[in-house]
Structure formats: C-alpha cells, structure tokens
Amino acid sequence: MSEINFEKLEALSDLCTPWCLHTVGTLRIADHISRGINHIDDLAKATESNAYALLNVMRHLVSKGVFEETEPKQFGLNDVSRGLVESPYRPDLTGIFGRMAYAWGTLPTYVKTGESGYHEQFGLPFWEDLAANPDVGKSFDDLMGIAGHGVPDPHFPITGDWDSVKTVVDVGGGTGAMLAEILRARPHIHGTLVDLPGTAARSAEIFQAAGVSDRVTVSGQSFFDPLPAGADIYLLKKVIGNWPDKEKKEILRRCAEAARPSGRIVIMGGVTPDEESHHLSIEMVLVGGKPISLSEFREMAHEVGLKITSTWQHGGFLVECQPI
C-alpha cells in the first residue's frame, strides 16, 4: 500500500493560516508594526482587538514564517510580512477582497451546479451586490482599473492599422482606464465608454488625467441593452470570461447589432486557444463565468452573426470578429 503524505494534506487543507492572514491584513497589523507599535497590548489597543486572541493569531503566523516574535509578546516584520505594509494586494476582509474571500465558501454550489452560489452568501448575485453596495463596487472598480492593474497597454494589434479607426466603444470598460490610454496614444480617435451607471460615473477623473475628456462619451448602461451603434471597433476587455455561455452570447449579439455593417469586435481575454487547459478562478466562483475555447467561440459567434477574422497573442489571446 502506498504511503499517504498526511503532513502535506493537512497543510493544503489548513484554513487557519489564510484566515489569520486576512484578519491581520484587515487590521493593518503590519502597518502598525512598521510605525513602531509592536507589543501585543499596544497592537490590540490600536486595532480595538482582544489582546489574547490577537496574540494567538500572531503566534500562529510566526510559526508559518509570516512575522517574527522578537521578544515575548513583541513582533517584528520579515521578508513576508513586509509585503503586507500598504500593499494593494494585502489580504483584506473589507471591500471586494472580502467578497472574494467569503465567496470561496460557496464553492460547493459551483462544483455541484456549475453556477455561482454567491447569492447564498451575500443575498444578491455578484453584479447586483456591487450595485447595491457602492463602496464595494468602487473597490472592485479600483481593482479592475489603473489602481489595481496598472496602466493598460493600448498597443494591441488589429487588422490593418489604427489610422483608419475613428471611433472605439469600450464595452464593459469599467472606469475607462483602457479607453483613456487608447485615446491618449491616438489623438484622432473618439471613444465611448459603456458600463453600469455607478461605474461609468467614476471615469471622469481618469479621462481628465489622461487629457482626453473632450473625445469621450460616457454611456451609463447595461451592455445587455442596445449599444451605441456605428463605431469602428467594439472592445471587450476581460468581459467575456466573466459570464456563463448564455450571457456571453447576448453580449456578442449586442456587439454584432451595433457593429453592422462594417465595425469590428476585438475580444481581449475570455477566449483561449483550443489546446489551452482551463483552471479554477475566482471569476468562476463569483459569477459562474468561464473562458471559452476558440472552436467553441467560433460556433457561438456564428450563431449571433459574427465571423472570426484574426487572432493574436499579445499579452494574452486576442480575437477579432466582424459581422457576417
């Protein structure tokens, strides 16, 4: 009989460590230590916590190599915990990171049904929850925008050249980070941002900072409704993979309607080469979304009146379509 690695199994199934990390991240413990507050009593006072409970959390994390206990009940940072200081990716139970953390508890529903169980935890489906909780919605927008992902690369390939492109509609473009860079790089283009009203309203600052406000139209709406028609390019960046197949098809249908007769749809993210395998992601748990292979996408696109004209690898897999 083969040996069983119980130690590795226990380590992989341990929920204590990630929850301790999320807790100290939420309390900004590393930030306090970096400012010289390092005794457990002072840390508890600064974070309005129970000293005994916090001590047990800190000592667990010390045992995992996250902090150092420099003297009894006094803690210091090391090469791991310094990553928790003022970091946009620190584990956190507030805002969108908190939603993600708790959403993993609905994974059994996703595995059983292939659909998101997010509403079981938060009372509403993901997108409706963001709309009903503006603070969480804003933290999601920050994660998707420049603050979370850095300045996007607008130099992605298209068929032909950009000189002939006069108008771009960024469908589901969040707070406009990508569209702002496209317009900044190409002063002859006018852009339209399409996203839900609360998100779209937060785009003004980004467009103003990029110096492109005079060339942008903002349409606060659902992309399941008719889209602004007649543009040269309709961009779907990290949109398709966030939805189940039924919704994917409806989004593509709306793009096809708006792009006729001569516009193009560029999909960045959510479509993969046929040979690429798919792996579990937080998007699957939050919204039941999934990437789609190129062959599956070709069939879906045809059903809504689109044909694939080009594909590229450019920091990810890109697909360009045109109305049939």
Render pLDDT for 243-290 as a digit per residue (tens, 0 to 9): 999 999 999 999 999 999 999 999 999 999 999 999 999 999 999 999
pLDDT tens string 303-318? 999 999 999 999 899 9
Pick from 131, 133, 129: which is nearest to 116 by CA? 129
How sure is the predictor about 229, in pLDDT bands with cuts at 50, 70 and 90?
very high
- Interacting residues of 143 by C-beta distance below 8 A, sequence separation 6+: 96, 149
Which residues are bridge partners to 218 per DSSP? Answer: 193
| CA 273 – CA 292 distance, rounded (Å) | 9
The one-letter amino acid code at 323 reads P
Q: Indicate where the chain has its CATH 3.40.50.150 domain(s).
A: 147-274+285-323
Pick the CATH number of 6-84 from 1.20.210.10, 1.10.540.10, 1.10.10.10, 3.30.9.10: 1.10.10.10
| Averaged confidence pLDDT in the chain | 94
When pLDDT is averaged across residues 76-92 and rounded to a whole number, the result is: 89
Q: Indicate where the chain has its CATH 1.10.10.10 domain(s).
A: 6-84
pLDDT tens string 121-141? 999 999 999 999 999 999 998
Three-class secondary structure of residue 4 per DSSP: coil
Pick the CATH number of 147-274+285-323 from 3.20.20.70, 3.90.550.10, 3.40.50.410, 3.40.50.150: 3.40.50.150
